[in-house]
Chain A
Amino acid sequence: MSLLSLSLNEWRRRPLRNAVTALGVAIALAALFSMLAFHEGYRDGMRGEIDRLGAHVLVVPKGCPYDAASMALHGANWPCYLKSSYFQEVLHTVGVATAAPAFMSALYPSNGLQAVYVGVDERILALRPGWKIEGVFPQRLGELLVGSDIARQQHCHLGESISLPGLAGEKGVISGILKPTHGADDTFIYCRLEDAQTWFRHPAELTHILVRLTDPNALNETVGFLRGCDAGMDMNVVPLAHLFRTIQSLVNSTRLLLGCVALIGLLVAATGVSNSVLMSVAERSREIGVMRAIGASRGDVFRLICLETLLVCFAGAMAGVLLAFVCSRGLESWLRSRLPFAPSDALIRWEWSIAGACVMGALLLGIMAALLPASRAAELSPIEAMREGSRV
């Protein structure tokens, strides 16, 4: 027998009350865990998505830069275009190491799946060093490089001639299949820039230009040059690092608010735990008095009540982490439907370190919640405690 087994016995005596108290901790902790997991997931997802783009700067038509960035990252139909001639100006701007022109369009074929076509030239390869291509990059008319998800869904094989989804009467040949990138590229169909411009009837127009800088530390200076070039008035120069920071700060304020709510929830749960243990101490004052009489020191009683409280908090914390895990899928799709800009990577990132930190936090809170009832119990004089109706 140990103090721990004594504490476990106490849990068995009032299972319903303890379960309800632990449930309060579990709900608050699940909220906090989800918040932290979302914080990690969203930040890393955004960073990964921008890294996969391989560019430091995105040049897009005039309009909302966040919409444009979202379209470039996730694939969409663009409402306006850049002149192809701007590309040369961008490419020759001081500080630009390389640039890749792109024409993107999204179609919705009858099968309901979105087909995103991206017309590019070989310069894109310099921006995507991580790409692994089975086959070759499109070089001839009608050749296609398809993302791994598309290849899987459409059962594409190298050299196969396929009807282009959403483009009635047009045919293409699979020249290459992208190995999984775990990003939006997996769902794109890459083709030659000229082919995309022809199929979508926008010759001599681009949707965006991806720009890589010679020195990323000179971002502001290069962005200034790009904005100052002749075409600068007709295009929007979006530094992706700034975009990342702005989106992060927009989401951060909401996250901070939700974090505060979760924290308040946890404090309320801790008050509930403290109250429940206080009640338990009041009900057991005679038992505590007997324990003191038969040799338990104030420290023993304090430790016993602390252990009981910690057990409730620990059970609540474990249940909370489990609850967060069970609800993570639903929460992820709900967040995706609400967020204006969501990376394609998992938004709720399951990390053992977060789970561990949450459990530790709950235990810390348990210690705080235990302080009052444990001190009240330890202060009980054995004589007073053994009297019926002793007040705690």
Chain B
Amino acid sequence: MSNLEPVIAARALTKVYRRGPEQVHALDGVSFEIARGEFVAITGASGAGKTTLLNILGCMDAPTSGTLRIGGKEVQSLGEGARTLLRRQHIGFVFQHFGLMPTLTVAENVALPALFARRKVDTRVVELLDRVKLLHRRTHRPHELSGGEMQRVAIARALINQPDLVLADEPTGNLDTATGQSIIDLFQKLNSDGLTIVTVTHNPTMAAAAKRQLVLSDGRLLKNPVGTG
């Protein structure tokens, strides 16, 4: 990906679902850009379309119309295989429910995306666990960790394939305030190191910690004119 190119460029994205006879406009003409190194929070009330937008940005869903460029590549019409490849190579995910494999150790969980990418990552796993301060827990299983530790493992896992972009869906949603703050701090640290982060959040502290907010209401973007904070 070129450094000048925005990591994400969305133009008039719409997503329409059918719910029985009725059509639901989950996204309605959403346009924005996210530059490399930004930390962006997507906020809004429940049902505003935040998670739908995140799923589309993460290439897990396709928009009904509009264009989406990730790292300069148009992705809205990519097939399943190409979208998987894009996710694998360029995007890291952090989930509200952590999404750790209960049968794997901390180190194995971190290394999992690399297995699918057919990469050898032994030293990088150590490096990332050290970065999230969980090296001493490398052989532990998720049920032996606290919520904050699990989320830090999930963050390390999101970084294993050196993505251009990390997408987080309510990363503090399952954590108490103090633990949530430690995750926010970690995101800020990663962002200060140059990582592009887009997070969906209800947490005002998290939203405030982001450099920019995209506020969604009924599928439309309220705030944030393209390219401005």
Contacts and interface: CB of A to CB of B under 8 A. Distances in A.
The answer to whether A and B belong to the same complex is: yes
Interface in A285-302: 286-287, 290-298, 300
B213 interface: no
A293 B87 contact: yes
Contacts of A287: 99, 101
Contacts of B93: 290, 293-294
| Chain A interface, DSSP helix/strand/loop, else mixed | helix
A204 interface: no
B113 A1 contact: no
Interface stretch (B35-43, B103-111, B196-204): B103-111
Interface in A1-22: 1-3, 6, 9-10, 12-13
Interface size grouping (class) on chain B? 20 to 34
Contact of B80 (A290, A295, A298, A386): A298
A383 interface: yes
Contacts of A386: 95, 99
A382 interface: yes
A381 interface: yes
Nearest to A294: B113
A291 B116 contact: yes
Given A294-B93, A295-B84, A382-B60, A3 B115 contact: yes
B116 A290 contact: no
A281 to B, nearest CB: 15
Contacts, number: 71
Interface string B15-27: 0000000000000
B151 interface: no
A291 B112 contact: yes
Contacts of B95: 290, 293, 386
A3 B108 CA distance: 12
A304 B63 CA distance: 30
A1 B60 contact: no
Given A9-B104, A287-B101, A300-B116, A294 B111 contact: no
Most buried by A among B93, B113, B116: B116
A290 B103 contact: no
B156 to A, nearest CB: 12
B102 interface: yes
B99 A293 contact: yes
B157 interface: yes
B112 A294 contact: yes
A290 to B, nearest CB: 4
Given A3-B115, A10-B103, A293 B58 contact: yes
Interface of A: 1-3, 6, 9-10, 12-13, 286-287, 290-298, 300, 381-383, 386
Given A9-B103, A287-B101, A295-B113, 4 more contacts: A1-B112, A291-B116, A298-B81, A383-B61
